Amino acid sequence: MTHYAKVNNGIVVDVIVAEADFFNHFVDDTPGQWIQTSYNTKSGIHYSPLTGEPDGKTALRGNYAGIGYIYDSENDVFYAPKPIDKNGIICESWTISAPNWTWIPPTQYPNDNKNYVWDEKTKTWILIE
């Protein structure tokens, strides 16, 4: 079985599991198009369904598509919407990175084995105490 994402105006609105020939008989009169996605693809890497380890196979469209994900037709990839910070503010300062298709903050997460959350207003990591 294969996964397909329904994309409308660049946003994933549904994801289903079906055989390719399903679309030969399926009647869908809602706006958008169905695009194949891979449950085994994350951050531009294909993972083995048996071991969960990278298997060297070609990753399909950057990431597995989830509802609300973005479909970038120019690059033919899916990626998550921008993260939201601890205050519920969209992280506009973050940028999408290729070829991983993940969001990158403007400053790196601290590497001190402590837990932090992002604060978009100050553009800093805040220590969780």
**β strands within 1-129, DSSP E:** 2-8, 11-18, 33-37, 41-42, 45-46, 70-72, 77-79, 95-97, 102-104, 116-119, 124-127
CA pseudo-torsion sign 2, 18, 69, 33:
positive
Stretch 123-127: mean pLDDT = 97
Quote the pLDDT of residue 105: 98
CA pseudo-torsion sign 100, 102, 105, 110:
negative
Instruction: Determine if residue 76 is left, alpha or beta; phi over 0 gives left, psi from -120 to 50 gives alpha, anything else beta.
Output: left
The structural domains of the chain, with segments of one domain joined by +, span 1-81, 83-129
pLDDT (tens digit per residue) in 18-70: 998 998 899 899 999 999 999 999 999 999 999 999 999 999 999 999 999 99
Average pLDDT, rounded, for the chain: 96
pTM: 0.90
Quote the pLDDT of residue 23: 87
Stretch 82-92: mean pLDDT = 97
Quote the pLDDT of residue 129: 86
Quote the pLDDT of residue 20: 85
